[in-house]
Amino acid sequence: MDLTVTGSLPLILIDADIPRQQALAARLRAKGRSLSTPSDTLAALRELGTLPHAALLLSLAPGKTDPIDVICHARRQHPDMPVIALACPETSHRIAPAIRAGAAHCLIHPVTDDALEHALLTSQGRHGARDTVDDGPLAGFDGTSPPMRGVYSRIRAAARTRVPVLISGESGTGKKLCAQVIHLRSTARRGAFLAVDCRGTEEAALEAAIDGHLDRHAGGTLFLEDVSALSTAAQLTLTRILNRLEASFAAPELRIVCSMLHTPSPEADPAPSLRPDLLHRLQVLPIAMPPLRERTADILALCEAGLCRFSAEAGRAPAQITACALECLQAHPWPGNVRQLLNLLRALTTLEDSPLLTRETLPDDIRNPPRASPGGQSGFAGQTMAQIERAVLEDTIARHDGSVPRAARELDLAPSTIYRKMTGWRSAE
């Protein structure tokens, strides 16, 4: 069982004056704020890439990078990120440019605790409630294709209520990110975000995780990842817990968000599936995350954001992608979806020193995809879906030197599902 707990919106504090940065950081930590203090603006840019759900506190005092450029970079990467500028009398002339660049507030040193807390609370409120009518991208997501605009609209609707949400989608489509964005845009963000990986989680561990969260935190969001992987006994335990919460004072304070793995194969075994009564309780508001092959118009935006982030991590200027390389990426089926694309971009940024991502830098299977047969059919032509599924599973297991658990992780399946398939193959032979 994998547990992840996050609290309120974390902060990134940037100030070239190190003693002043450390003093303000100490005050914020004393108030229970989660905080990082990058040593320089380059490190800060890397932080921005890894913490899309954060608030930025930025001194307008000049450093290695112009603070106005940092604000522009943050707003370009994460449009919903709250930005608070910190000025002193010597830098007051930079307040107007900072506001134009996207800062939500500007405070003058010495900053009082009340002023700082008010700015943080109101900025976080904007982060959670802005653009509720718009269907544009939300922080953490990239792309404006019609399928994603529908997702953004549903996330905004979910954030305005506390009804249970069930997020479905293939592996790598961003189900957990969707749950985190719902948490951060809703009133539940005042509490913690608890993620429970249901694969292999038994009833006692599930109950202990939920009760432990309620003991330590007031409300928040409970995210049950791959809830359909729970055993029948664990599902009965979850139903009993939900009944108990609904009858207690804690129920209005705890938000329930779940995810279910959807596979493109209609014969895929969910193993086990959700009990109908539990399914109906959890999917009051369903959100379907589209696979990348159905939102290829977003690949350019995903590449630009990914290359900007990974180039900053590598300490280089953002790489650019050529039109030919983009065409190859848009033609690829991406069975691993956005996660697979981002992992490729990270690898290419690490391995290639060129400022251009060209067709020649792409892996051979993306640069030169297998040609279709003369009849226009793929190499799976004439095979049943069960035969195709077996071929994919056996190939993945072979690539992992026979390790079923590692193959299951790549395919985002429970190992028990693969073992059951293998038993079925042997009995049919």
Model confidence band, residue 1 (pLDDT cutoffs 50, 70, 90) = very low
Nearest-5° Cα angle at 107, 101 to 112: 155
- The pairing of strands 83-87 and 55-59 is parallel
Query: Mean pLDDT highest for which of 48-52, 311-315, 356-360?
Result: 356-360
Model confidence band, residue 429 (pLDDT cutoffs 50, 70, 90) = low
Predicted confidence (pLDDT) at residue 376 exceeds the cutoff of 50: no
Predicted confidence (pLDDT) at residue 397 exceeds the cutoff of 80: yes
Query: Mean pLDDT highest for which of 87-101, 107-121, 325-339, 394-408?
Result: 325-339
Q: According to CATH, where is 1.10.8.60 located in the chain? A: 293-367
Query: Mean pLDDT highest for which of 68-77, 286-295, 346-355?
Result: 286-295
Q: Which amino acid is at 323?
A: A
pLDDT given at position 386: 76
Mean pLDDT of the 187-199 span: 84
Nearest to 153 by CA among 259, 283, 288: 288
Q: What is the CATH number of domain 146-290?
A: 3.40.50.300
CATH architecture of 293-367: Orthogonal Bundle (1.10)
Judge contact between 214 and 253, C-beta under 8 A.
no
C-alpha dihedral sign at 136, 303, 53, 242: positive
Distance CA 111, CA 118 (A): 11
Give CA separation, 293 vs 170, 231, 329, 364, 389, in Å. 11, 32, 10, 19, 19
pLDDT tens-digit map of 12-47 = 888 888 888 888 888 888 877 778 887 666 666 666
98-107, 262-271, 295-304: least confident range: 262-271
Mean pLDDT of the 385-397 span: 80
Predicted confidence (pLDDT) at residue 379 exceeds the cutoff of 80: no
Model confidence band, residue 269 (pLDDT cutoffs 50, 70, 90) = very low
Question: What CATH fold (topology level) applies to the domain 8-129?
Answer: Rossmann fold (3.40.50)
Torsion-angle region of residue 127: left (phi > 0), alpha (psi -120 to 50) or beta?
A: alpha
Predicted confidence (pLDDT) at residue 275 exceeds the cutoff of 90: no
Model confidence band, residue 173 (pLDDT cutoffs 50, 70, 90) = very high
Q: Which residue has the higher pLDDT, 113 or 331?
A: 331
Residue 417 main-chain phi, psi, to 5 deg: -65, -45
Predicted confidence (pLDDT) at residue 142 exceeds the cutoff of 60: yes
Q: According to CATH, where is 1.10.10 located in the chain? A: 385-428
pLDDT given at position 128: 46
Distance CA 94, CA 239 (A): 56
Predicted confidence (pLDDT) at residue 378 exceeds the cutoff of 60: no
Q: According to CATH, where is 3.40.50.300 located in the chain? A: 146-290
pLDDT tens-digit map of 79-121 = 677 888 888 878 877 887 887 777 877 888 788 777 777 777 7
pLDDT given at position 32: 76
Predicted confidence (pLDDT) at residue 316 exceeds the cutoff of 70: yes
pLDDT given at position 296: 92
Residue 290 main-chain phi, psi, to 5 deg: -75, 145
Q: Which CATH number fits domain 385-428: 3.90.550, 1.10.10, 3.10.280, 2.40.50?
A: 1.10.10
- The pairing of strands 356-357 and 320-321 is parallel
Predicted confidence (pLDDT) at residue 382 exceeds the cutoff of 80: no
pLDDT given at position 377: 45
Q: According to CATH, where is 3.40.50.2300 located in the chain? A: 8-129
Give the three-class secondary structure for 60: coil
pLDDT given at position 268: 45
Judge contact between 166 and 288, C-beta under 8 A.
no
Distance CA 389, CA 84 (A): 51
26-30, 95-99, 219-223, 379-383: least confident range: 379-383
